[in-house]
Chains A and B, each alone.
Chain A
Amino acid sequence: MLEARLGEAAEFKKVIDAIKDLVQDCNFDCNDSGVALQAMDNSHVALVAMLLKAESFEPFRCDRNIALGVNLTSLTKVLRAAQNDDILTLKAEDAPDVLNLVFESKANDRISEYDLKLMDIDQEHLGIPDTEYAATVTMSSAEFKRITTDLIAMSESVTIDVSKDGVKFSAQGDIGNGSINLRQHTDLEKSTNSVEIELSEPVALTFSLKYLVNFCKASALSTRVKICLSNEVPLLVEFGLSGTSYLRFYLAPKIGDEE
């Protein structure tokens, strides 16, 4: 059986909030290392991978592999009943029909308990290899969100051009064009605003802005976002969670759609 306790419900709520706009139903795969999630959007051009490691929970107990098929919209509805600072406990039997969620208020002795009906979801699971990316940009998640929302006003796709000089986000649309240049710099006063670029070779790729905007719903989870690019592989947008847990989004680049 599964029993996982999170000190604060806020992070889990935000994770689910970010994913629910990309996928509808998905399996939470629970084993002794933690709770993992991998799902693609309906068009199968984007993928979300989440891992909540066992050490993020206090305590975490999972005897065997359990797949929890959840409708994320329904889960969101249940999680709305939880305050951000509530203690959240996930519980499930070995062959569960329901996922049991308990929200404990720290301020008083209020305990709310919900059972969410589970479903059988037939999902293909992809193996994602560790990749050496040609360029990795680490920057403020708020800044990345701002760039995507600004540029979507111009076009539905953005070209991310990473070179020695910095990273350039540019969009060309019917009404005109626009671009944002960021140079590598280290903000000593506010380290979250720093822009770090690791580059082995220059990369320029085009992506759907709507998907990037969608990924940025996770910006509330982390102040920093890591953007990794390589030719011929999907873009990786990673938001770090507490500990070494992570939330990763993959997006296929647009090829041959420049004109």
Chain B
Amino acid sequence: MPRTRSTKGATAAASKDKTTTTPDTPASTSLYTLPSAPPNPPKLFILPESATPKARIITLQNPRYSRPARYLVCPTTGFYEFTKITTPSPSSQPRSWLLTPSSSSSSLSASSTTIQSPDLFLATPYDPLFLILPALATPCKRMFLSPDDHLDALPNPDRHLSNILTCESTRKLVERRMAVICDTVEAGDEVMYRLNEAKLLSEIISKAKKMAKDLPKSMEDKFVKKALEAPVMSIKSSQAPLPALAPPSLPTDESSADLDTQSAAAASSSSSSSATTPSTEMSESQLAATSTAATSVASRDDLEIISSSLVPSPEVLSLQRLRVSFSFILSSYLPPSLSAALKTQLPSQIDFKELDAYLDTLQKLRQEAAASRANDFSGKRTRDEEEDERLEKKRKLAEEEKLKKANVSRGVKKLAKVNVTGMKKMSDFFKKK
């Protein structure tokens, strides 16, 4: 595939304001005749202001999913990943972009254009250390190698990587990031690198801490508030119960676009991360959250009024935020094998005891709530079959006993009460035959 020169001269004008974003294809539509649809329809990108005209969109291997993905590489400001933002539901409505120049004075028809696809691609800063991680974290014995040897281990389908690494500043950037997570030795005039997992862990924890400071609202709602929310044990009668509405998992409306650049990425990949890595803690808590959301009868607004039985402390909240951030980074940027190893090492760095204790009590409360609800509504027995069998036997025995008793005459019952002291048994007088 040829190099895509999508960001021609006007890139510098790009900013967070949508109306000034740059079209990446020349406007070539006629007013009156409908040309055949181009094989590669134009797409809308938002590029960072800091990206220089020398920036290129290249194809590299995504370290997490081992699939080719597009990245924006600028020799001076570094790497950017693209996050696709799809239209929010209702998606059945056809949508498209209308792009016009920023000044409204010029004629509308002259330089404005429409783009059929409603999707938006947002370039967000990307740490190149994630790109080289698959090469560093080889399952076999890790050795001190030169950066070139490491980079040669990366899959390089279109030789884009080797091309961009010819640029001196980019190469320096990659080596600098590599040094952060590697042990180094100098061999002659060359520096050799070997992955140090402890360094990687602390680097990721620092990233997670930064992210936890300002968690996007969608993640805060779903993974922090919902996950730590105690079940409502009793609903006051004055509060009319409302149907539970889970917050939209893909906050792709305009407000989220204004958020931190991480926000969009987090939102779009949060669903995929939980789907692809069901073993991560985040997805577990997410499962718990969704299960309670299903049984919960009060909406979040009501919960603020109704006193909840358990309120998380600020420490617990921040710990949960940190854990969510950490899981998110692991599950969206790191190779699965490496993220599993790091996950086990996390508790050694950060003390989660307080959060775990809270989650334990929460789990118990939820079970109680679920049990009480199950009793309230379904009345179904949850006993296992063995117990059922035992009860059935017991019932049969009792029934037989009852039948026997019913078949006892009154005279026999009366005789049972007779005092027989001093009376010998019949078998003492008469011998058995």
Contacts and interface: CB of A to CB of B under 8 A. Distances in A.
B59 to A, nearest CB: 87
Contacts of A208: 418-420, 423
Interface stretch (A4-12, A99-107, A122-130, A137-145): A122-130
B3 interface: no
Given A23-B412, A73-B407, A125-B432, A44 B427 contact: yes
A192 to B, nearest CB: 26
A133 to B, nearest CB: 13
B412 A44 contact: no
Interface in A61-88: 71-74, 76
A37 to B, nearest CB: 15
Interface string B42-62: 000000000000000000000
Contacts of B423: 43, 45, 208, 252-255
B409 A73 contact: yes
B426 interface: yes
A252 to B, nearest CB: 4
A178 B41 CA distance: 123
B377 interface: no
B429 A233 contact: yes
A256 B411 contact: no
B416 interface: yes
B407 A71 contact: yes
B32 interface: no
Interface string B406-433: 0111111011101111111111111111
A22 B418 contact: no
B417 to A, nearest CB: 8
B422 A74 contact: no
Contacts of B415: 21-22, 41-43, 46, 210-211, 214
Interface in A194-252: 208, 210-211, 214, 217, 233-234, 250, 252
A128 to B, nearest CB: 5
B431 to A, nearest CB: 5
A254 B422 CA distance: 5
Contact of B425 (A73, A76, A252, A255): A252
Contacts of B428: 252
Nearest to B410: A21
B191 to A, nearest CB: 96
Contact of A127 (B412, B420, B421, B431): B431
Nearest to B415: A41
A232 to B, nearest CB: 8
Nearest to A128: B430
Say which size band chain B's interface belongs to: 20 to 34
B422 A44 contact: no
Nearest to A125: B433
Interface in A37-57: 40-47
Contacts of A257: 421-422
B429 to A, nearest CB: 5
A253 B425 CA distance: 10
Interface residues of A, number: 39
Given A45-B420, A208-B419, A257-B421, A21 B412 contact: yes
Contacts of A73: 407-409
Contacts of A210: 414-415, 418
A149 interface: no
A45 B411 contact: no
B433 to A, nearest CB: 5
B410 to A, nearest CB: 7
Contacts of B431: 126-127
Nearest to B407: A73
Given A43-B418, A211-B418, A257-B421, A124 B412 contact: no
Nearest to A254: B422
Contacts of A22: 411-412, 415
Given A74-B407, A129-B430, A256 B412 contact: no
B409 A234 contact: no
B396 to A, nearest CB: 16
Given A125-B433, A127-B433, A214-B415, A24 B425 contact: no
Contacts of B424: 45, 252, 255
Contacts of A126: 426-427, 430-433
Looking at B411, B414, B433, the one whose CB has the most chain A CB atoms below 10 A away is: B411
Contacts of A71: 407
B356 to A, nearest CB: 63
Contact of A124 (B408, B411, B429, B432): B432
Given A125-B433, A127-B431, 14 more contacts: A20-B411, A21-B414, A24-B409, A42-B412, A42-B415, A126-B431, A126-B432, A127-B432, A156-B418, A208-B423, A234-B426, A252-B425, A254-B423, A255-B422
15 contacts: A21-B412, A22-B412, A47-B426, A71-B407, A127-B432, A128-B430, A208-B423, A210-B414, A214-B414, A233-B429, A250-B426, A250-B429, A252-B423, A252-B428, A257-B422
The 5 lowest CB-CB distance pairs between A and B, nearest first, are: A21-B411, A257-B422, A126-B430, A252-B423, A254-B422
Interface of B: 407-412, 414-416, 418-433
Interface of A: 20-24, 40-47, 71-74, 76, 124-129, 156, 208, 210-211, 214, 217, 233-234, 250, 252-257
